[in-house]
Amino acid sequence: MNKRINFIFGLHNHQPVGNLSHVFEEAFEKSYKPFVTELQQHPDIKVTLHFTGILLEWFLKERPEFLHLIRDMVSRGQVEIMGGGFYEPILPVIPDEDKLGQIKKMSDFVRLHFGTEVKGIWLAERIWEPQLAKPIAEAGIEYIVVDDAHFKGVGFSDEDCTGYYITEEQGRELKIFPISEKLRYLIPFKSPEKTIDFLKEMATEEGDRVLVLADDGEKFGCWPETYKSVYEDGWLNRFFELLEENSSWLETMTFSQYIDSFPAKNIIYLPNGSYREMMEWSGGFWRNFMVKYPESNRMHKRMLATREKVYRITDPLLRNQAIDQLWAGQCNCAYWHGVFGGLYLNFLRSAVYSSLIKAQVLAEEQLYPEEHWAEVEERDFLYDGINEMVVNTKELGIYISPAKGGGMYGLDYKPSAFNLMDTLSRQRESYHDRIFDLIGNTNECMAAGEAVDIENTGDGGGGGTKTIHEIVKVKEEGLDKYLIYDEYQRISLQDHFFYPGETLENFKELKHVEIGDFIMSPYKAEVSKDNKIINITLSREGSVEQEDTKKPVSLEKVITVDPQDLGMEINYKLKNRGKHPIHTRFGIEFNYSFLAGYADDRYYYGDQGDIEESNLASTGDLEGLEKIGIKDHWLNIDLSLNFSRPAGVWRLPIETVSQSEDGIERVYQSSVVIPYWELELMPGEEWDLQIKKDIKSV
């Protein structure tokens, strides 16, 4: 009897909510279209395709003929369509009702536009937690696919990972296929013949085995060098030809066809997991990203708080519109970082916040029909065991953490659906040390143009090689000087006490000395509301250390929000409570997250005329200002700080160094604005200040 084997070829295709339009275009032309066009020429090859809802809506609007082409292939049984969460959320970290809703939204789209039922779903980033079986099964789904690493983690062998298994949660049944890591690294990076050889090795006389390749479709054209290898050099065509030539013993199938043809191997219970590389990046558990990156946790907890409001809407049409925006804000890509992009891309974070703000505004239209309204909530919004405060008006959302320096970690300008404080602190990434170690050891290799493997790029191998000359170019651009790591979260209203005459250059390089104990330290908080005007009083009894003496200082800042005023007031009061004079430079740090540091339509302005080199990535020290502002014509926002006392003002950018598919890159994240004053406080002396923060449309 001849040995036989079955092969399932599945591709997952995705672009994040908020990704740049040219990226959609390029991915379509270099990956999605050529793959399906090539597949069309081989009608006997069966493939399973998954497109996220973001892509499907883009196809529907921009390339409807592409959907028609796929529908034809579905109708003749060549293609099976997998579903999933419509906006590609990490399913375990969103509520069950949203899990079901997003999966059913995708299934409805597939039924309408492809004329077929969804039987299996793709898990975003293949993140699996055991409790998922119940809501996925309740959404009408029969099977999922996860990495064979999940199975091997409970002792399974390669031979064991050649079929599907059944798991259950509270009696809800779900079938699970393992994805072959071996195939992920072969396809499409090694010759097609090597894949055929591997499949032949795994074939048996019973012919009941199946090997699964289910991986990112962008590897077929969008990854570095793959368009040339896969299409121009004919890799995919040759692979399909080999599958056809060997069809006597090698049968391509869809997941549903295999389920209909063969029984499950056994019952199984799998632990939490993902693909091997994701487990390394996350420290073994995806949710750890919300610990490693406070910014990820802030987004996730904002999503949960927004959801509470959205589900209070009673008008069905308004509710559905808001839920859809909420779900868009659950798109996973901005919530984590491995090797590439993700959380480090400010426009992806901004898109998440924009969707959540739009959802919240729709809810508030019904909850607060009057023109001028204000609400304040005090509870543990960040789920860190400490209460935060959130103030909302029709135009603004203000997020305050008394425990973190009495700081402001979010500021929504609702008319533009934009979070002005969507900042990112700089922290060490594993690839930083390796990249710059390599740069330091390239001199002897430069003449040869030798290739250096910087880092395995993502979850399927290949594409991670840069030449020595490219690395040296990075060094020549001076990116190593941007490897600065913040010692505190880059949120606003952080109160600095510097030595007199401290320099901007020292602060920029984090060489300054903090002589106060106020940064990220806990403040007491009190809230009052008088005729819709909200006052939040934040106070701390701290100290300033000078001449080996800790000198007691009290600081009070009162944030006043009037719903009839597009902005807020912040009133400061400092008092020297000790017996010795205090001579210090006092500065208040604001961090603003406008999206482009070098664009001409986004710039600083002051009350003393034009600012030289005014782009938002500029660095400078201005003197005697009563006003500093930022205008963003693209977002239609004019933000200004007005001081009751003339101030010196530092400005500087926060820029990160991260990897992308194109190599190492510097990314503008936000702008730091620090007004400061030279103070000499005698014992018992008080000093006060009023800052008027105005936010309006340009």
Report strand pairing: 5-13 vs 210-216: parallel
Overall average pLDDT of the 206-233 stretch = 96
Is residue 384 annotated as part of the catalytic site, yes or no? no
DSSP state of 520: T
- Contact yes or no for 342/411 (Cβ under 8 A): no
Residue 488 lies in a domain: no
Residue 678 lies in a domain: yes
Final residue of a structural domain among 274, 308, 326: 274
689 and 543 within one domain:
yes
Name 453's bridge partners: 465
Q: Please give the pLDDT value at position 457.
A: 39
Q: In degrees, to the nearest 5, what angle opens at C-alpha 222 toward C-alphas 189 and 86?
A: 110
Residues across the chain: 698
Per residue in 24-69, pLDDT (tens digit) is 999 999 999 999 999 999 999 999 999 999 999 999 999 999 999 9
Other Cβ atoms within 10 Å of 443 Cβ, number: 10
Whether the predicted pLDDT of 444 surpasses 50: no
H/E stretch holding 641:
strand 637-660
Dist CA 484 CA 597 (whole Å): 18
Per residue in 281-327, pLDDT (tens digit) is 999 999 999 999 999 999 999 999 999 999 999 999 999 999 999 99
Residue 151 lies in a domain: yes
- Contact yes or no for 693/569 (Cβ under 8 A): yes
H/E stretch holding 696:
strand 686-696
204 and 124 within one domain:
yes
360 and 500 within one domain:
no
Among 459, 489, 452, CA closest to 663 = 452
Dist CA 570 CA 292 (whole Å): 31
**66 CB-side CA count, 13 A:** 20
Other Cβ atoms within 10 Å of 610 Cβ, number: 9
522 and 636 within one domain:
yes
Residue 424 lies in a domain: no
246 and 101 within one domain:
yes
Residue 489 lies in a domain: no
H/E stretch holding 89:
none
Dist CA 46 CA 74 (whole Å): 10
Among 162, 124, 118, CA closest to 143 = 118
- Contact yes or no for 48/233 (Cβ under 8 A): no
Dist CA 55 CA 106 (whole Å): 11
What percentage of the chain carries pLDDT values higher than 90? 87
What one-letter code names the amino acid at 307? R
Per residue in 635-678, pLDDT (tens digit) is 999 999 999 999 999 999 999 988 776 677 889 999 999 999 99
Q: What is the pTM of this model?
A: 0.94
As a whole number, the mean pLDDT across the chain is 93
138 and 265 within one domain:
yes
Among 491, 283, 301, CA closest to 384 = 301
Dist CA 226 CA 245 (whole Å): 24
**654-676: buried (b, 16+ CB within 10 Å) or exposed (e) per residue?**
bbbbbbebeebbbbbbbbbbbbb
Q: Report residue 453's pLDDT band, with 50, 70 and 90 as the boundaries.
A: very low
Report strand pairing: 396-401 vs 407-413: antiparallel
Whether the predicted pLDDT of 448 surpasses 90: no
**Three state DSSP letters for 5-45:** EEEEEEEEECCCCCCCHHHHHHHHHHHHHHHHHHHHCCCCC
Dist CA 489 CA 138 (whole Å): 41
76 and 178 within one domain:
yes
268 and 297 within one domain:
no
Q: Please give the pLDDT value at position 436.
A: 65
Per residue in 567-621, pLDDT (tens digit) is 999 999 999 999 999 999 999 999 999 999 999 999 999 998 889 899 999 999 9
> What angle separates helix 64-75 from helix 96-114, to the nearest 10 degrees?
80
320 and 249 within one domain:
no
Based on the number of CB atoms within 10 Å of its own CB, is 103 exposed (0-12), middle (13-18) or buried (19 or more)? buried
Is residue 216 annotated as part of the catalytic site, yes or no? yes
Overall average pLDDT of the 268-279 stretch = 93
Q: Please give the pLDDT value at position 677.
A: 98
Residue 173 lies in a domain: yes
Q: Please give the pLDDT value at position 476.
A: 61
Per the structure, the count of domains in the chain is: 4
Final residue of a structural domain among 394, 419, 444: 419
CATH number for the domain spanning 658: value is 2.70.98.10
162 and 236 within one domain:
yes
314 and 231 within one domain:
no
526 and 382 within one domain:
no
Among 312, 333, 332, CA closest to 322 = 312
Put the strands of the sheet holding 143-147 in their side by side order.
Answer: 83-84, 120-122, 143-147, 172-179, 165-169
CATH number for the domain spanning 14: value is 3.20.110.20
Report strand pairing: 120-122 vs 83-84: parallel
- Contact yes or no for 438/471 (Cβ under 8 A): yes
Dist CA 409 CA 590 (whole Å): 10
User: CA 120 → CA 90, 136, 211, distances in Å?
Assistant: 16, 9, 17
Structure tokens at 640: 């200004």
Domain hosting residue 624, numbered range: 494-696
Overall average pLDDT of the 112-127 stretch = 97
Dist CA 535 CA 549 (whole Å): 34
Residue 9 lies in a domain: yes
Q: Please give the pLDDT value at position 446.
A: 44
What percentage of the chain carries pLDDT values higher than 70? 93
Catalytic-labelled residue, pool 125, 215, 251, 324: 125
**24 CB-side CA count, 13 A:** 19
Catalytic-labelled residue, pool 57, 96, 216, 378: 216
Dist CA 167 CA 187 (whole Å): 29
Residue 425 lies in a domain: no
Across 100-109, 172-181, 481-490, 535-544, least confident range: 481-490
Q: Please give the pLDDT value at position 317.
A: 95
Q: Rounded to a whole number, what is the distance in angstroms from the first to the last CA of the chain?
A: 77
Q: Please give the pLDDT value at position 458.
A: 41
Q: Please give the pLDDT value at position 466.
A: 47
Final residue of a structural domain among 213, 246, 274: 274
